[in-house]
Amino acid sequence: MSDPDPNHPRHVAIIMDGNGRWAKRRHLPRALGHQRGVEAVRELVRSLKDTGIECLTLYAFSSENWKRDEEEVDDLMNLMRKFIKSDLPEFIANDVKLKIIGDWQGLAPDIVEMLEDALAQTAKGGRTLAVALNYGSLNEIARAAARAAAAGEVTTDSIAAHLDTADLPPLDLLIRTSGEVRLSNFLLWQCAYAEMLFVDTLWPDFSPAHLRDALDQFANRERRYGGR
């Protein structure tokens, strides 16, 4: 296998932000913003085969999102159920392997069962869609450090080996939509040497064309990893 192209990211992660503001600007319920956000995910996943990206990681539901209004959380959970059910056949047909990171086993039992089935049915896929559910990076690092300590050695390598993303390529590019410039407890360890791109586009409006533009910007950056 040839060495990866340094100008092309193998692993891209996105903080999908702005569903609520998208809906508010249109005087629509927040739930409709989340629904349009799911459509944006669907369109982006369909375009992956044309990008060369091996893994796309999406921040779908953080461990802090439980603080939102109960009605909105219920809407998000129901949307998740619909998405898994409706898009699983498309994942299989398009050779997409689903991976879940975070404490997803803490979700409702029926969602856990649906996710387990989706993971099993897509296990042989070639391109990975990793979805962060009930995820918080500080918790992930703490869990990984505890496992490394239990194994008898706490080093950067041993901690990295126990992260939720240990079997994924190193993170190359992190994108956040909606104009916010922060990581919000997402992939803190993995972002150590990742390139970052913050765009003003609200997530429901983020298209495959926006992703291609992000990839072009990545190609024009010089990654030094602390060197000169």
| pLDDT score recorded for residue 1 | 39
In the set 19, 65, 139, 200, the catalytic residue is: 65
| pLDDT score recorded for residue 223 | 80
Are residues 135 and 59 in contact, defined by beta-carbon separation less than 8 angstroms?
yes
What gap in Å lies between CA 205 and CA 40, rounded to an integer?
7
pLDDT-based confidence at residue 227 (cuts at 50, 70, 90): low
First to last CA, the chain: 28
Ranges of each domain in the chain:
14-135+169-178+192-217
In the set 5, 7, 17, 110, the catalytic residue is: 17
Contacts with 191 (C-beta within 8 Å, 6 or more apart), sequence order: 171, 174, 183
| pLDDT score recorded for residue 222 | 84
CATH superfamily of 14-135+169-178+192-217: Decaprenyl diphosphate synthase-like (3.40.1180.10)
Are residues 79 and 35 in contact, defined by beta-carbon separation less than 8 angstroms?
yes
**142-169 pLDDT tens trace:** 999 999 999 999 999 999 999 999 999 9
pLDDT-based confidence at residue 109 (cuts at 50, 70, 90): very high
Integer-rounded Cα Rg, in Å, for the chain is 17
| pLDDT score recorded for residue 4 | 63
Tokens matching residue 48? 């992956």
Cβ count within 10 A of residue 178: 21
- Residue range 193-210: mean pLDDT, rounded: 97
What gap in Å lies between CA 57 and CA 130, rounded to an integer?
4
pLDDT over 80 at 192, yes or no: yes
129 phi and psi angles, rounded to 5 deg: -110, 110
What gap in Å lies between CA 14 and CA 218, rounded to an integer?
14
65 a catalytic residue: yes
134 a catalytic residue: no
| pLDDT score recorded for residue 2 | 44
pLDDT over 80 at 217, yes or no: yes
Tokens matching residue 46? 């369909």
Only one residue has tokens 């080093």, namely 155
Tokens matching residue 228? 């000169």
Task: Note the pTM of the prediction, 2 decimals.
Answer: 0.94
**34-53 pLDDT tens trace:** 999 999 999 999 999 889 89
Alpha helices, DSSP H only, in the chain? Answer: 19-25, 30-47, 70-93, 109-121, 137-150, 156-160, 208-219
pLDDT over 90 at 3, yes or no: no
Q: What is the mean pLDDT of the chain?
A: 94
